[in-house]
Every structure is written in C-alpha cells, then in structure tokens.
Structure 1
C-alpha cells in the first residue's frame, strides 16, 4: 500500500487512473509535433508549467506557460523515430508545476515518436515501411495469484514473448498494469489495447475504439 501526499496545487490524481498528462506525438517528415495536455487541481495565477523533452540528458524541446494553459505543442527537430523491435527509442517528457521558482509537483513520462498505418491489402506499416505483425494474446493472470502480478511476473511474460520473436501483443480484455505497457514501449512491441469489455455487455459497447500504442 502507498500513501501519496501532494500540495494543494498538483497534477490531478483522478485523471482516469493516469498521471494527469496525455501525450500525442505526430511525425511530419523529419520533425515531430508533440501535443501535451495536462490536468491540474488547485492552480493559481502565479504558477507556471515547465515542459521539457529530453533525449537521454540532452534537452531537445522546452516551453514555459502559465498554469492556466493546460495544452501545448512542442516541436522536436530531426526526430529520432521509435522503430519497433529494431530500435525502440524513447524520449522523456518532464512536466513541472512551479511557483516563484519552487517546484510544487512533477510528472515524468516517456514517448516514442512514430507513424503507422494499416493497408487492407498490404498490412501494417511503421514509419512508412512494411512491418509484419506476429504476436500473441495476453491475459494478466497467474495460478493462485490472479490479476495481482508482480514486476518479476510481468518481466517474465515479456521475455517469453520476445523470445518467440513476436512484434505485437493484444492485451485482453481490460487495462493491464501500466508497468507492462511501459515494458512494451521499451521492448518495441506494437500493442492492441482494449477497454474493459468482458462478461457484461454494455449499451453501445460494440462500438469500442481501437487504441494503438507505439
């Protein structure tokens, strides 16, 4: 069990179970536009948000806004692409809420910049190149453990999937542990992620969206 303490001004802890930061990179030629939306609670006019994108320890994009501005677009020039199992390169995004130079709260997320499309005749394309999808369907459970997997179980699953030379994973039928999504980003896996739609049918539930991660 963990106890989280935050100041009155902080990133929203109730933002759909996420970190309060949503990142959407769009590749355009050799550059990438990174759309960042944040959700905050209790902010004041005197506060600012500092957005910093890094490649390793090198700053490649940065922007400072008033805390009331909760959406920005950052440009990465000569972007290094996330390229699946071949080269799963990840940038890091640091978002800091500050007041008079004092940091109140911070979020760190990673992102891969890539483009993809699906052609009904030719299949899946990653960064403009054909990328065959061969993989597995994964449930997050173990005998006598159920859904409460530890990091070592998550790592073991990923290692086995990589040993099979898979390039994609379908995570059924619910949100899996964020730890495993992060592993997929790190190891270069294309992911089919689903909303929790199992056992009970919801009105309009068959119109569920498809979300592709990296």
Structure 2
C-alpha cells in the first residue's frame, strides 16, 4: 500500500502511527505532481492529503483510511472491543478534528495579524484542550490502558500545539494538565509513536520547514 502524504501532515502522521502499531509496511510518497496539481486532483478532487492507495483503489480522508486499516488488519485492535468502546474512541477522534485542529490552524492566520487576534486564537485553543481533557479516560492512554486511534489523532496535534506555542511565545495548554502530561510521557515512549514524533521534529527544525497541511 502507498500512503500519499506530505512529511509535515498531522493527518498522515496519525496513519503512520497506526500502521507502525500494526506492523504494516506503508510506502510513503508525496502527491504525484505536487499538491494542487491536476494530476493530484485526479486522485483526490479535494486536493487534500493523505490518500491511501490499495489494490482495490484509492481511499481519501484520514479517518476513513484508519477505519479501513482496522477492518483489514484487526490485530492489534486500535478501535475498541465493544460498541461503547468503539464509540468512545470515535468521539474523541472526532472532537480532535472538529474542535482542536480548527483552533490550532487558526493560530497560523492570527500569528501574522494583531495581538488581539492572536490572543483570541490562543484562548480558543485553550478551550478546546480543556474540553478534551474532560473526555480523557483515567488511564495511560486516552480511551483506556492501550493505544487507540484517539491517541494516533492527538499525538501530532499535541506536537504542533507545543511547536506553535514555543514559536509564538505562549504556554502550551497541554502543559497545564497533569493528565495530558502523563499521557504524553507515556505514549511518546511507545515505539510506533516515538518514530513519528522524531520525524515531525526533524522536519520542523529544517531551515524551510513546511507548515502542517
């Protein structure tokens, strides 16, 4: 299978963590023709990454790709073993996508605007993180004792939150929550996660690091 993505993509990163946890070998490739090209739009009309190329065809949208991988390769399970557990993982992942990422990417525009706009964006980000904290289970991982798709989704979001906070001069809201700090210390040491974090850090430190897409 080929995963079309860009190195800085947090949505590609979540799939890479999942694949590593399952021992799946994914070939990583950048969008043919480059993002926004007609060649790439022929593969994904929305022009977004990632896209998973399988023998059956191409699959768009990171959440759908992850569900596909869980269906095709159920062990080890990263989705949940009963309907409620599955719903819990999906709800956390959905909350990350609907509330945390819009607030996080809102920092990009606010950073070049006035101080008031940046303060508003930071406040929105803190609110999103605070509400996610209320969803976290009292375990090592977000939805229980073991890694799930929820962790795969939040790891790159947490990485970029901390990165933007350091660059823009405000305290990462994750650092103020003991539960999230303990979670980060735990999952950051898991091999499937550690490798992806190291890659994101290397890309971010490059002289012309691209922004997350």
Question: TM-score, normalized by length of structure 2?
Answer: 0.26
Question: TM-score, normalized by length of structure 1?
Answer: 0.25
Which fold has the larger relative contact order, with Cα–Cα distance below 8 Å and residues 6 or more apart in sequence? Answer: 2
Between structures 1 and 2, the one with greater strand share: 1
Between structures 1 and 2, the one with greater helix share: 2
